[in-house]
Amino acid sequence: MFPSPRLSRRAFGMAALTAPLAVSFAGQARADGHAAPGDAAIYGASLGSYRITAIMDGVAPLGRGFFFGLPDEQINSVMEANGIGPDLLPAPVNAYLLQSGDRTILIDAGMGGLEMLGPGFGRLSAGLAAAGTSAEAVDTVVVTHLHPDHVGGLLAGGGAAFANAELVVAEAEATFWTDDAAMAAAPEAMQGLFQLAKAVMGAYAGRVTQVADGAEIAPGLTLSLSPGHTPGHSVVMIDGGDRQVMMVADTIHNAELHTALPNIGFGFDVDTGLAAQSRVALFDRLAADKTLIAGSHVHFPGFGRILRDGEVYRYVPATWA
């Protein structure tokens, strides 16, 4: 059992940097669900019975201030050692498409038409087309958590962008973001995040499946809780038979910082302490097994491995054809 989340005022305060747009999310989305035109950025590879395709929905211009909780010199030292500039830490927003003979499954849906983090998002549709499919063909959307850069793309024209898809989400995640009491306890600046989550759940009413920790959600796909970033933040193990990948979602927001400094806080964490605890536990497991990962905000296309580096870890990109 995981402890109950503690709403982090510091984290919510950091997240409030984007809150004015979050509050009015409905007015920020273009009717067609796309924030800006752009070429599709995709990368596909065989995964046993599946083909997995990384699709980049856009790039979030995260600032240095989103990372906190450790001495500035320690954070700045890691950034300098990795050639990361002092102001921006660009983070791709990746979704992952799984295709088999009879299934078309999407893991997360990007920011879509929302402009909370600026323009340039909404490339998911073009990515699906480049992968030879469409929103109408998607039968299941797995939601790792209900933050805007993972579910904004689920809405289009005031309704569901995926007309034929079942929405799968952890029960703990759905319960938190649709809880009026939790919404009332959160800072006013963050009400928009709850509003968006409720809008998404409402748009897919009758097609939402809430699952427990460790549930098999499709052949070879297992959803497991890794809470802290949000109460029901989840990772997805994908077993294609001869190859396995774990989609670690927002366990990592910057590959260099979060591996060298796994206890660092991030501005959208609901519970920074629990997020760090979950991250370290997952990193230990991934490093021991040398499991291939995919990440929501890892350098596109997001495939790599977490390895031990003394008392901490390091991220190694995977060359995978």
Over the stretch 191-246, which tens digit does the pLDDT of each residue have?
999 999 999 999 999 999 999 999 999 999 999 999 999 999 999 999 999 889 99
Looking at residue 321, its pLDDT comes to: 63
Q: Could you give all domains of the chain from N- to C-terminal order, each with its CATH number?
A: 26-317 (3.60.15.10)
Pairwise CA distance, residues 21 & 116, whole Å:
5
pLDDT of res. 6: 45
pLDDT exceeds cutoff 70 at 2 = no
Is-contact 313 262, C-beta < 8 A? yes
Q: Which residues fall within 8 angstroms of residue 157, CB to CB, at 6 or more apart?
A: 31, 32, 33
Is pLDDT of 11 > 90? Answer: no
Mean pLDDT of the chain: 88
Q: Which residue has the higher pLDDT, 157 or 131?
A: 131
Mean pLDDT over 148-167 rounds to 96
Interval 17-65: pLDDT, tens = 443 333 334 333 333 444 444 578 999 999 999 999 999 999 998 889 9
**Per-residue pLDDT at 117:** 82
pLDDT at residue 190 is higher than 90:
no
Confidence at residue 37, expressed as pLDDT on a 0 to 100 scale: 45
> What element of type H or E holds 77?
helix 72-81
136: Cβ contacts below 8 Å, ≥ 6 apart: 162, 163, 164
Q: Is the pTM of this model over 0.85?
A: yes
